[in-house]
Amino acid sequence: MKLEEFARQLRRRSEVVFFTGAGISTESGVPDFRSPGGIWTRYAPVYYDEFVSSEAARIRYWKMKRETHELYKNVRPNVGHYSIAAFEQRGQLLGLITQNVDGLHTLAGVSPERVVELHGTDRKVSCLSCEKEFDPGPIYARLREGVMPAPCDACGGLLKPATVSFGQSMPVAAMKRAQEWSEAAGVFIVVGSSLVVQPAATFPVIAKQNGALLAIVNRDPTPLDAMADYNFRGAIGEFFTLLNPLLSDG
């Protein structure tokens, strides 16, 4: 299928679901944590049970998170984020499922109720016991002064960035909504994901099995390319720059 045909079919659909991965955010200057020089090449992962049980592990974890917080303060959405937000403005967006924790989709204008952040968000801190949420700004400001986060002021529980750590259970409600959107999608568009991280990579399969038109937009090949109705190999910004004018045609 050529881009023009994909755009023609896309114009007729209202149940569009996007599934985004690190590739859309790298074009905003957010490094892929798994790539050379990324976070996971410079910090040993802190597993969830370590965070809960060890103060030393919490110190290591917060040091790493302080670095990502400083990065996210300065990054901004790019054409890919804004193009996806435009689908909601046109009444076509059923939902957006993202593996990213940078919060750039909501900054671009996608309504929170239309976003499922499978791995949580680095733009919030929450209590592991009562789930009260905290503004991360003051917490990270104290961290820069060497002061570790205090216990939750509501219940005394441990505070943690609202992201899913290694060994931590995936959020049940988020996974359920992502599955529902995948089953109901008329068009399912993967943007910037290698589709190798499970269980998230099963959602395009679920969508295709339920009759959705499947498109994959990524710089590199993915394991699901042969299943897709449309593949685009290249920069995400380039894809949307080519696609957007076609969506207003005819």
Which string of DSSP letters, residue by residue, matches the chain?
Answer: --HHHHHHHHHT-S-EEEEE-HHHHHTTTPPPTTSTTSHHHHS----HHHHHH-HHHHHHHHHHHHHHHHHHTT----HHHHHHHHHHHTT-EEEEEE---S-HHHHTT--GGGEEETTEEEEEEEETTT--EE-HHHHHHHHHTTPPPPPPTTT-PPEEEEEPPTTPPPPHHHHHHHHHHHHH-SEEEEES--S-STTGGGHHHHHHHTT-EEEEEESS--TTGGG-SEEEES-HHHHHHHHHHHHT--
206 has a pLDDT exceeding 80: yes
Mean pLDDT, the chain, integer: 91
The full DSSP string for 174-216 is HHHHHHHHHHH-SEEEEES--S-STTGGGHHHHHHHTT-EEEE
Please give the domain boundaries of the chain with CATH numbers for all domains.
1-30+77-119+169-250 (3.40.50.1220), 31-74+121-163 (3.30.1600.10)
Please give the pLDDT value at position 249: 57
pLDDT class for 207, splitting at 50, 70, 90?
Answer: very high
Supply the pLDDT for residue 32: 64
Percentage of the residues of the chain whose pLDDT score is greater than 90: 73
Task: Give per-residue pLDDT as tens, 13-52.
Answer: 889 999 999 899 988 888 765 555 555 556 678 899 999 9
Query: Which residues are marked as active site?
Result: 119
Q: Which amino acid is at 109?
A: G
Average of per-residue pLDDT across 126-150:
93
pLDDT on residue 3:
94
What is residue 68's predicted lDDT score, i.e. its pLDDT?
A: 80
- Work out the pLDDT band at 2, boundaries 50, 70, 90: very high
The stretch 113-134 carries a mean pLDDT of 94
